[in-house]
Structure 1
């Protein structure tokens, strides 16, 4: 027997909780299905020393400020505690240990959650962009004697065996992990293309104060500048190659081009012999569990500000979903509010027609 709700939100992280806040305000009948044993468990699975590059004043979900000093940079565990408290404070209907294994539809959306199933008129997929680790093909040419892990599996230096460690990836994760390891290991960092690093604070103010003031975080992906920024790699914030070299004695390299046994080669022709490789090379979105035509021919999600071409199906928390801030903790609320309003309008239209499903739904 299926459990029925008007709206199902898939994912109990920051995007799913923000969505729940606005659905509750719109008095919708909904449930949030979270695969793990606590809300926002994906944060708990990151490395222990992780700190946000946004200060606490820019890390709030709607209706509840991030606690404590607004000028500090919250830790991983503080984020998890905040999101858990947020769900409890607003009594959001989060159903834990509920991994959605399949989503399809007939007259309604059908969600398979193991021994249970759910039905809904609308579904919001709020699983975010950090799902399946992206690892280069050359990883397969490293020898079995080299320990390999993705940044999503890294926890702390004590879990890494003695020996030389290569971190691959020039984003914020790669820099933080390299610095975390530098006191206990000999560390190399392969950063590929050079990025312009930005300081966390400028003239006593948080970098994001300036970005927010000039509207940079609300640049849409369809604007001229937004298209240019979306095509670039993420900005490096609060660290730099010079800082890693001087403060942490990390050896820097360019792009990884190949590997053989314990040897990793770089674009400049140099090479290094390593014991461990940590791939801080990002993620790809995995929507293979959705049995609906939501992707284009190149595997990209088809949507307009999170509204898919499948009536009643929405997406939330994707990178550049609508603006530069769409996937950030403090800005996901803008897209969540928009989708909640769209759901309300959608349901009002159904009620006005006095029929369900929507005429454009496939039968």
Structure 2
């Protein structure tokens, strides 16, 4: 039986594998894609990190290049590819997990798309959310509806009348890019909150790290953050303020190829592009009973339903930086500490009889 199986081979899964290595465990890591670089290769072509290289590295390997450079999507893919080479794990790419079930001896049974059944004493779900984009149900529109997860570049939208829905980083960045070739309106439920990329000559990530904001727990963050923050170099705010990028309050309905704005105005639209975020990509845990309405039942990444099940890479899992390159290792280390105790049967070693019938690895 495997001691620990990790599902997902992006930054979260690799961070978990590295943490397990420090406890002498060589995990089995299952990645649905062709290589352990997560979802990065699937993001839009112009994507760059909002954190400079100085704050984008993971433990054990600095991000290459100039410290103040903002890495491009492809640079992140290359970085993760190299990082995976430093991990001692049995990495199986092109392996999709279809379901996880409970075994008769307290173990997890991981089923794959190729028909394999893999037993594991411990399990880490590190599949992130990119595979589960949130597309609101808004019937009645005869134009094109899409999600930013499927967007690559502006070429396909040249000359269109287009609405981008969402006031977060992706929505604003993509709308700004599209405005160069299309007639774009950014539709949001509230005014956009811009956070300057640089303050007092330093990138905002310096202040996030130095102040400790990066590690504030989600229970406190809700008191500080009124909504999404958009990292702004100055270009985005300026484009909204001078009208190059129009922002309107969210439309109320669709009617054929038109949207209906709150003031009753109707406007013909070719495409509505939703930048409405993602939900955890964890459907394979449904048979286990570890989810509620698709959301994991957990505390800080430790399952509240199944001992031995942990999560890494959830947004705001334990802090502001939980699912970022710079911060995911802290959550991985926290989850792995408990997981290692479980797979090595700490209750029995302490003289506690759990009655679970779990067979130690």
TM (normalized to structure 1)? Answer: 0.90
Equivalences for residues 313-328 of structure 1 within 5 A: 313-328=309-324
Select which of 336, 342, 349 maps to 1:340. 336
CA contact (8 A) 1:254 1:268 kept: no
User: Is the partner of 2:228 in helix, strand or coil?
Assistant: coil
Distance 1:247 1:81 in 2: 38
CA contact (8 A) 1:197 1:239 kept: no
Partner of residue 128, structure 1 = 128
Partner of residue 291, structure 2 = 295
Q: Deviations over 1:25-59 (max 9, x none)?
A: 21113111000112224111110001111111111
User: Is the partner of 1:8 in helix, strand or coil?
Assistant: strand
Distance 2:278 2:263 in 1: 26
Partner of residue 238, structure 1 = 232
User: Is the partner of 2:316 in helix, strand or coil?
Assistant: coil
Distance 2:185 2:357 in 1: 53
User: Is the partner of 1:175 in helix, strand or coil?
Assistant: helix
Select which of 13, 16, 20 maps to 1:16. 13
Are positions 1:28 and 2:22 aligned together?
no
Are positions 1:79 and 2:76 aligned together?
yes
Q: RMSD value over aligned CA atoms? A: 2.4
Partner of residue 269, structure 2 = 274
Q: Deviations over 1:255-294 (max 9, x none)?
A: 1211111111233434421111111111122433212232
Q: Deviations over 1:307-330 (max 9, x none)?
A: 102010001111111111111111
Taking structure 1 as reference, are residues 289 and 57 closer, same or farther at Cα in structure 2, changes over 3 Å only? same
User: Is the partner of 2:196 in helix, strand or coil?
Assistant: coil
Distance 2:158 2:144 in 1: 9
Question: What's the offset of the Cα at 1:117?
Answer: 2.2
CA contact (8 A) 1:40 1:80 kept: yes
Moved more, 178-187 or 157-166: 157-166
Taking structure 1 as reference, are residues 313 and 206 closer, same or farther at Cα in structure 2, changes over 3 Å only? same
Moved more, 82-91 or 264-273: 264-273
Unaligned runs of 5+ in 1: none
CA contact (8 A) 2:198 2:233 kept: no
User: Is the partner of 2:76 in helix, strand or coil?
Assistant: helix
Distance 1:56 1:122 in 2: 33
Partner of residue 349, structure 1 = 345
Distance 1:165 1:61 in 2: 38
CA contact (8 A) 2:258 2:267 kept: yes
CA contact (8 A) 2:32 2:95 kept: yes
Question: What's the offset of the Cα at 1:125?
Answer: 0.2
Taking structure 1 as reference, are residues 270 and 75 closer, same or farther at Cα in structure 2, changes over 3 Å only? farther
Taking structure 1 as reference, are residues 22 and 68 closer, same or farther at Cα in structure 2, changes over 3 Å only? same
Moved more, 267-276 or 249-258: 267-276
How many residue pairs get matched?
352
Distance 2:193 2:203 in 1: 17
Select which of 181, 201, 208 maps to 1:211. 208
Distance 1:188 1:265 in 2: 13
Unaligned runs of 5+ in 2: none
Question: What's the offset of the Cα at 1:358?
Answer: 6.3
Taking structure 1 as reference, are residues 335 and 18 closer, same or farther at Cα in structure 2, changes over 3 Å only? same
